Structure 1
């Protein structure tokens, strides 16, 4: 295409700088709050959808990595956290240090430069150490410290990562204290007051030991999101369980099935009655792609029409699921030619574009070329809507596609 719209990516990632929590927590928490320690890697495996590591003592033999240490959690930075700039065949399961990652992964000036190189105007970034919905802090023992960590992350996200130096190009995405829906609602409102329009949530909360969306437990949180027009953003893996088939399945199996949790989650939401109770609520699925959506909507409509009596939804789901999807749900993709060929069955207003920088699946620095190749059959106004227009509307950006703050 001679002229292609500037991309607004609704799913990129940030590797948090080492000082995010150290600079924001009270002194009494410095020895137990999140901090970086450089140490060897004794073990690192990823099989059956589960990640396992073991840290060696300083001075031990073995490859060295930077580890986040928090209470008794030891989490290394890995090549999968930041893979751009490496050939696909060079990307392995290994621990790394900050010096061995692309600086745009954690440094603002370099991130903006990498966005320019990739034809990206604005980007929404999911966390790394807190994990995709802040579940790291929900698993902690010390709730006082965990709440301070959640707030510190959000303060850093708004004031620094998306602050004045980003000139509106980075769009804040908050996390919440998942262990308390009332506290979560308060954090949504605190961040909404300073212009934050998106918050992370788990695709399947029961996998984290939390209530499902079929219960009333999340109502305070959902009400806060509706009233503040805050989008509930769910990333693949935000239930800390990647889809797989067996304990010995190689990572490639889970990688091929990454959309599956989104599919299960969407069925939950469509049959939960939450969209009837909170008619202004909007949700989005990051990195789930979109090609699977038409069939699950078709099947959900059949179930709603034929089986809602014995299916337990007759009294709470008043509209066909496909209509609920059209009003409330956005799917996100970065490389899905099949989904784009079936865009009319999904809805051009219900899809968002992403680049997944700096992960191994990322289309950086070819996101524009990938989009042009896969969207060449679409009308220019449809391309404009998919690549940026829907994101502007959903996230409350300026007409120019920038975050304006409070």
Structure 2
């Protein structure tokens, strides 16, 4: 490795994991009239109680006139989900960020408004960004859990239309890169939605890190094959965010959030081993997956252990007939880890692979490095050759997501 280099400016960042807080009208403007009273809508109401223990979020909405802090709540069927400070924490000091309900007026406009988002990206040396959802949750679990599947499918499609046409539309000038959802309850419908969005330039779809936690089949079954085939054929990357199984890692029901926050990578670790031992990369050779907010420092040992298990135990381990190459080779061809603050992982980059690492800023969450993502990157990547830094900060994302050479999304009207 070279020592720190200062002869080339830090590259403009392409963040593969930011977040959008959906504006109140996303579904009300797009659902058929008969569904507007049952589809997602915003209600301003007081908070009765709220907790976040053992990796589970439990809010209770009060009635009009009740005492308690007032916030904006998403209401959908029987679900009441408040906007919270954790949804949009940038601009607040670390000690000011608490689990509390908020209104749209109390959040930074860049959370939900495109021009304001671009301005905040400029402040953070970010050129382009991929954004995961908030109300639908990280892979659309909200709609997967709904009772009315016809309405849920319309909600998924409405979100995707808003994501492509509005959030990543002309006002974004190619700087916001679409990430869409699929109806997880039906792999055939999911495949159709992948193809519908791929036809308009989308190259990333959200998925669950551990589907069985959602009551869905695992990747070891054939149930997901129609969806995987669609992703393989269209070059659509499967993006899995920590918590996309609706279960954050924890150790006990009364463990404070700090425990889960320390081990957030664990679900990514479990998920990656699932995929490496599933045989899916053998069957779908162009399939690519990425782990958002999972960091990368844990990857070298897991690859080492997976290779040992495959080499020594594949006969009785149930993978000899479907995994024909060492897992580390499959990782190199198919898997991408994403990080925003991982000095240890960067010191072990040779054991991960320069082409398998992507950068992110996590705007507007409490973990975000905004507005200092450039400074964090410079401090942690100063020992790397500038060409390596360029690949990590933007080059790998351009290649993986099919962006234009200038780092912009070509599907938008600029």
TM-score normalised by the chain length of structure 2: 0.98
**Secondary structure of 2:68's match?**
coil
The answer to whether 1:67 aligns with 2:78 is no
Q: What per-residue deviation string (whole Å, max 9, x for no partner) do you get for residues 319-367 of structure 1?
A: 0000000000000000000000000000000000000000000000000
Correspondence for 1:123 = 129
Correspondence for 1:210 = 216
CA distance in 2, matches of 1:257, 1:43: 26
The answer to whether 1:273 aligns with 2:264 is no
1:81 equivalent among 87, 91, 95: 87
The answer to whether 1:341 aligns with 2:379 is no
Deviation at 1:58, TM superposition (A): 1.4
Correspondence for 1:106 = 112
CA distance in 1, matches of 2:9, 2:131: 26
1:286 equivalent among 289, 292, 310: 292
1:193-204 alignment runs, 5 A limit:
193-204=199-210
Correspondence for 1:219 = 225
CA distance in 1, matches of 2:120, 2:65: 35
CA distance in 1, matches of 2:377, 2:107: 26
Correspondence for 1:244 = 250
CA distance in 2, matches of 1:58, 1:88: 32
Correspondence for 1:162 = 168
1:14-93 alignment runs, 5 A limit:
14-93=20-99
Q: What per-residue deviation string (whole Å, max 9, x for no partner) do you get for residues 146-179 of structure 1?
A: 0000000000000000001100000000000000
CA distance in 1, matches of 2:157, 2:357: 30
Correspondence for 2:3 = none
2:179 equivalent among 161, 173, 177: 173
Correspondence for 1:228 = 234
Correspondence for 1:391 = 397
1:8 equivalent among 5, 14, 32: 14
**Secondary structure of 1:132's match?**
coil
Deviation at 1:59, TM superposition (A): 1.4
Residue segments in structure 2 that go unaligned for 5+ positions in a row: 1-5
CA distance in 1, matches of 2:23, 2:30: 13
The answer to whether 1:328 aligns with 2:334 is yes
CA distance in 2, matches of 1:296, 1:34: 40
CA distance in 2, matches of 1:19, 1:263: 37
Residue segments in structure 1 that go unaligned for 5+ positions in a row: none
CA distance in 1, matches of 2:49, 2:294: 29
CA distance in 1, matches of 2:391, 2:54: 38
**Secondary structure of 1:309's match?**
helix
2:306 equivalent among 295, 300, 303: 300
The 4+ residue runs of structure 1 with deviation greater than 6 A are none
1:375 equivalent among 355, 375, 381: 381
CA distance in 2, matches of 1:353, 1:188: 25
CA distance in 1, matches of 2:232, 2:363: 29
**Secondary structure of 2:85's match?**
coil
CA distance in 2, matches of 1:71, 1:154: 20
